């Protein structure tokens, strides 16, 4: 017996080998000088630039990464059966998670595709967690219901792509270094 894979793969990941030092510097500058940061979904000292008009996808420092990203986005996009329309980034923002901070459970609602770049992921920086989208269907069976969340280990340079309707969150940053992440909503 073996499992039959008949449904689309929801989670895609890869690793960007290009340099991120100038991107990290730009993220730190934005997060330390912006007067438009918010805590929204960020907990215990985390902050987001999601309300700042200085969106990372316009930065020249990020252009080599975006050139690398879009062929990877296209693979997931086609696999999910979306129309072969022109894709574009509708929004992007940077998050900082100091020691003990994390992003709470959420989804990106009607955004078809989300891409997350780990600009700086320290050791013990906390991983990404995705909620099992079949959790409620398994709930009535004999399968244990306390394993809703699946962990995706991440490191600096990792990129994770998933549909915007997938519930996700981050673990607490257990490191003494800050974690820096850039998220992209792609439609």
> What string of H, E and C letters represents the secondary structure of the chain?
CCCCCCCCCCCEEEECCCCCHHHHHHHHHHHHHCCCCECCCEECCCEECCCCCCCHHHCHHHHHHHHHHHHHHHHHHHHCCCCCCCCCEEEEEEEEECCCCEECCECCCCCCEEEEEEEECCCCCCCEEEECCCHHHHCCCCCCCCCCEEEECCCCCEEEEEECCCCEEECCCCCCCCEEEEEEEEC
pLDDT of residue 147: 72
Residues 87-134 have pLDDT tens digits of 899 999 999 999 999 999 999 988 999 999 999 999 999 999 999 887
CA-CA distance, 174 to 59, in Å (whole number)?
30
pLDDT of residue 86: 80
pLDDT of residue 174: 98
pLDDT of residue 146: 62
Give the residue from 161, 36, 175 showing the smallest Cα distance to 100: 175
Residues of the chain with pLDDT under 50: none
CA-CA distance, 167 to 132, in Å (whole number)?
8
CATH architecture, domain defined by 12-186: Sandwich (2.60)
pLDDT of residue 57: 98
Give the residue from 46, 129, 131, 149 showing the smallest Cα distance to 93: 46
Supply the pTM of this predicted model. Answer: 0.94
The answer to whether the CB of 16 falls within 8 A of the CB of 62 is no
Backbone angles phi, psi at 54, to 5 degrees: -80, 75
pLDDT of residue 3: 84
């Amino acid at each position: 017996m073996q499992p039959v894979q008949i449904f689309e793969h929801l989670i895609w990941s890869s690793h960007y080998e290009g340099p991120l030092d100038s991107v990290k510097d730009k993220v730190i500058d934005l997060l330390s000088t912006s007067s438009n940061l918010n805590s929204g979904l960020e907990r215990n000292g985390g902050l987001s630039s999601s309300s700042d008009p200085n969106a990372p996808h316009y930065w020249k420092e990020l252009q080599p990464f975006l050139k690398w990203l879009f062929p990877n986005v296209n693979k997931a996009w086609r696999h999910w059966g979306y129309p072969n329309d022109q894709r574009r980034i509708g929004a992007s923002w940077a998050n900082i998670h100091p020691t003990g901070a994390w992003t709470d459970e959420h989804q990106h609602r009607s955004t078809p595709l989300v891409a997350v770049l780990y600009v700086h992921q320290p050791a013990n920086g906390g991983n990404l967690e995705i909620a099992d989208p079949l959790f409620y269907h398994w709930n009535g069976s004999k399968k244990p219901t306390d394993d809703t969340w699946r962990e995706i280990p991440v490191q600096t340079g990792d990129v994770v792509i998933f549909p915007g309707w997938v519930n996700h969150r981050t673990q607490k940053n257990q490191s003494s270094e800050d974690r820096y992440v850039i998220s992209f909503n792609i439609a």
